Amino acid sequence: LIITVDCGISNYEEIEYLKDLGVDVIVTDHHEIPEIIPDCLVINCKLKNQKYPFDCLSGAGVAYKLSYALIGESANKYLDLVALATVADSMDLVGENRDIVVEGLKIFNDKKTLRPAFKCLIGNSDKQITAQMLAYSVAPKVNAGGRMGDANAALKLFTSTDENIVYDLAVKLSEYNIQRQEECDRIYREAK
């Protein structure tokens, strides 16, 4: 079984290939609906003729909703990750997105529930963690690994239980973010 997150709605052919191999697929996505959608279970807040009232969830928000349907309130322990993804995806903070971010920020601002990965990315600060801080400080670091060719660094950051590895990966992602900024500046100057 493959469950996509934030992708798959435009991958009809790829999903047919997987199905031919005997793989079941569930697509969770929030992107616009193409003319032909995959012939599998598709969960997308933008599907026509559905009763779901909010069509502006992030891809992580859609995946969270599936998780909540499957495991109930246990899914709420991931709301910090869903909040970060919602902010990083530049979703309007209205309706359910606002609720997700408000609840996720409660996890961020509680020293007992703050994930080690975020402790390392944010640093030791007594400042209140806000959506703006997530958008301009945390999200760029998390995304920098993938943009600089090492997306696994972010995955390992959130899945490792070794504090030394988490720290090293947070430093690595921060360095990638600096490199990404320098590369963007260089490209901008070159284009100008």
Spell out, as residue ranges, where the chain has pLDDT lower than 50: none
Q: What is the pLDDT of residues 76-127, one digit of tens each?
A: 999 999 999 999 999 999 999 999 999 999 999 998 999 999 999 998 778 8
* Average confidence score pLDDT of the chain: 95
In SS3 terms, 101-125 reads as HHHHHHHHCCCCCCCHHHHHHHCCC
Question: Maximum CA pair distance of the chain?
Answer: 53
Cα–Cα distance for residue pair 103/34, rounded to 1 Å: 32
* Cα–Cα distances in angstroms (integers) from residue 131 to residues 48, 94, 105, 170, in the given order: 31, 13, 8, 20
